[in-house]
Structure 1
Amino acid sequence: MDRGGSNTGTLLCLNLSRRNPPNLEASLLDDQTNDQSVLKQTPLHDLHLSLGARMVPFAGYDMPVQYPAGVMKEHLHTRAAAGLFDVSHMGQVLVKAKSGSYADAALALEKLVPVDILGLKEGRQRYGFFTSDNGGILDDLMITNRGDHLLVVVNASCKEADVAHMTANLADCEVTLLEDRALLALQGPQAQAVLAELWAGVSDMKFMEVREVPLHDVPCIISRSGYSGEDGFEISVPADKAEDLAKSLLEHPNCEAIGLGARDSLRLEAGLCLYGNDIDTTTSPIEAALEWAIQKVRRPGGDRAGGYPGAARIEEDLTSGPVRRRVGLKPEGKAPVRAHAGIFAEESPESPVGEVTSGTFGPSTEGPVAMGYVPASLAQPGTRVFAEVRGKYLPMTVTALPFITPTYKR
C-alpha cells in the first residue's frame, strides 16, 4: 500500500545520492497528462507551495515530491525525528450496513477480502486487500472497526474503482467516499512527542489502535500506524481544518514536511509494498509474502475460509506454496537497481528468472535496496542473483525483509 500501509501510484525514480536530485519525476498509473489544470489538489496544496515544495503529478493530484532540503535529508529526518506527510489523495471510505449492525458490514466486506473483519475489535484497524477472481490483488487497504461501521482507506489511484467495486458487491451496505476529509501522516521516533503537544493521551495508544479525539477542538480520527517503518500516526481531519492542523504540527522543532520521494524510500527500506509496482492484479497475496495478513479463520480449515474472489488460487498457494516469491534484494556496490530490471539466476542473458519491482538508494542503509520476484527455489536469503543494468549484470543477494528494524509501538 501507499501507507501502513498505504500503497498510490508508480514508483518515483529518484537519485537519492544527490542533495537535490535533478531528475525527479512521478508517473501516473492512468497516464494522465502533466497539464496542471486537470490535476486535483489536496487541502494542503497552498501550504506545500508556501514551503517551497516541488510539485509533480501523482495519481491525478498535484503533490509535493520534495521540499528544499531534498529527498535524502527528508528521509533521514523522518528516521531521526518526525516527518509530516500529506496523504489526502488517498480514499477514505465509510461502509455501513443498512441494518446498522457492524457484524453485517464486516461479513459483507469479507466477501471481497481474505481477512478477518468480523473478529476485528472496535477501535482497531487491520491491513487487507481486495482480490480478483484469479487471486490477484485489486488494491491493498486499511480497515478500521468504528463501532457501527467500517472505515476503509484505499490507494488514490484505485479509489474510484474500489468504491465502485464495493458499491456493486455490498448491496446491503451504504458505501460513501468521504470527500470532505484530509489525511495526514506523522511519522518518526519523535512523532508521539509532536502529537502530544496537541493531545496528551497519545502515549496510551498502541500500534494499529484508532481513536476519535479533538485536536484544537476539531474532531479527528487518529490511528497509530503509517507506511515508513517508524512509529507514527495517521490523522483524518475535516478538509477545511487540515492546513491549520498541519501548521500546528510543523511548529514543533522536531517536525518537518516530507514529500513523496522520501516516503517512497522509507517504505522500501521497511519492505512495504507499493500498489502498481510490487503488487497488482497478477500477483497473489502469497506470492507477495503477505500471507501474514490472512488470519487463521479465513484460511483452509478455518470457520470462515474462502468465500472471497480468487480463493481457490490463494488457498492453493497457502497449502502448496507459490511458484514465485517477493524478496528483498541487496545489490553490490552503490548503484541502485530500478524497477523493471530483469533478474537472472546466472550472469547470462539466457537465464531470466524474475523482475525488480522497486529499487532505490537507501539513505538509512547507506546502500542500494530493492524488491522483486524470483522463483521460490531462489527465494532463500543469501541466494546470489543478478540484475541487468544498462547491459551489465550486477550481483545481488536475496535478503530478508525489512531492510531496517521497524519501531512500531506494540
Structure 2
Amino acid sequence: MTYQCELDRWKDLAIERLAKMEQLSSQLEERHCHEVESYKAENQHWMSQLNETQREHLELRSRISEQKTMYMKQLADKDAIIEQLRSSVHNLKTQIISMQTMISVNDPSFDLSAIVEVDETSDGLSQPGSERLEIKFDSSIDIHEIQDDLVRMPTTSTSIWQEPVIERLRREKQLASKQNAVLRRQIKALAARERRARLDAQNLKNQVFRISTSGGRVATAETAALQSKIASLQAQLLSARRDTQSSIALWDKWKRAQQSSERWQARYEDKCQEIKKMQASLNLAKSTVLRLEREKRVLLTKLTEIKQERHLTIEKQDIETLEKSSRLTDTERSTSPPPVSARALLDRVQAQQRRIAALEVAEKGNETLVSEYERALAEITSLKGQVLKLESTLLESQIKSPLKITQETQPELEYWKRFVSISLKN
C-alpha cells in the first residue's frame, strides 16, 4: 500500500508538472505568434513607407526632368524667334539701305542713317533680374505696306517731267516723311522685340541654370534623407529579425523540452504499467507459492499416511509369517522333528515373494506421488527465486528513487530522467 501510495503521488506530481509545462508552452507559443504578427505588421508598414518614399523620389525626378525639358524647349523656341528677328532686321536694314540709295538718287540732301540707330533709353523698361518677359508687337504696320508704297512711287522720267517740279518734290517729301515715320516705328518695334527676345532668352537661361542647380541640391538633399531613412528602416528590420530569431529559438527550445517531457511521460507510464504487471505477477506467484505449499503439506500428509500404511502392512505380513512359521515349528515339534521340509521352504519363499510383490506394489503406487512432490518442490523453489528477485528489484528501485527533491533549483525533468534510466537498468 505504501508503494502504491508513493507511486500514485509521484504520478500525480508528474502529471501536474506536465500540465504546467504544457500551459507554459502554449502561452509561449501564443506570445511568439503575437510577436511574429506584430513584427510582420511593422515590417509591412516600414516597407510600405519605403516604397512610398521611393515612389515620391521617382516622381520628383520625373517632374524635374520634365521641367528641364520644357525649359530647354522654351529656350530653343526663343533662340529660333531671336534668329528670325535678326534675319528680319537684316532684311529691313538692306531695304532701308536700298531706299536710302534710291532717295539719295532723287534727293541727295536726305540722310536716313539716324533712323537706324537704336534708342537705348528704352533699355530700362526690362531689368535683367525679371523672372518672365512676354514679347509684344507694338507696331501693326507690315513690311508689305512699305513695299506697296515703294511700288506706287513714280519711276519713269516721263511722269516726273509731266508734272511741275515743286509739286513733285512736295509729294516726294511727304511720301518720304511718311515712309521715314513708318520705318522708324517698325525699326523701333523690331529693336524692342529683339531686345525683349534677348532678355527672355537670358532669363530662360538663368531660370534653367537656377532650376538645374536648385533641383540638384534638392534632389541631393532628398536622396540623402531617403538614404538615411532607408538605413534606419534596414537597421530596424535587422533588429526585428534578430528578435524574431531569438524568440523562434526560445520557442524551439521549449518545444523540444515539451517533446522530451512527453517522451519521458510516456516512458514513465510504460514503467508504471510494467511495475503494475510485475506486482500482479508477484501476487500471482505468491498465491501460487501458497497453493503449492498447501499442496505440499497435503502431499506430505498423504505420504506419511502411505508410509505408515505400508509399514503397518509390512509389519502385519511379518507377524503373519512369523506366526505361520511358529505354527509350523510347533506342529513339527509335536509330531517329530524331521528336517525342514521342502513344503515349508516353499511356503517361506512364497511369503517372501508376496512380501516383495507387496513392497513393489506399494513402491509403484507411491512413485506418482513422489514425482509430483518433486516437481512441486522444484516449482516452489523457482517461484521463491522469482519472488525474491522481484522483491529485491522493487526494494532497490524504491531505495534509489528519492522521495524528496533535495535541491529546489534542480528541474523535475532531470529527476524523472534518472528515475526512468534506473528503472530501465533494473
Q: Same fold (TM over 0.5)?
A: no
Relative contact order higher in (CA < 8 Å, ≥ 6 apart):
2
Which category describes the TM-score, using the shorter chain as reference length? under 0.3
User: What TM-score, normalized to structure 1?
Assistant: 0.15
User: What TM-score, normalized to structure 2?
Assistant: 0.14
* Larger Rg computed on CA atoms: 2
Higher strand share: 1
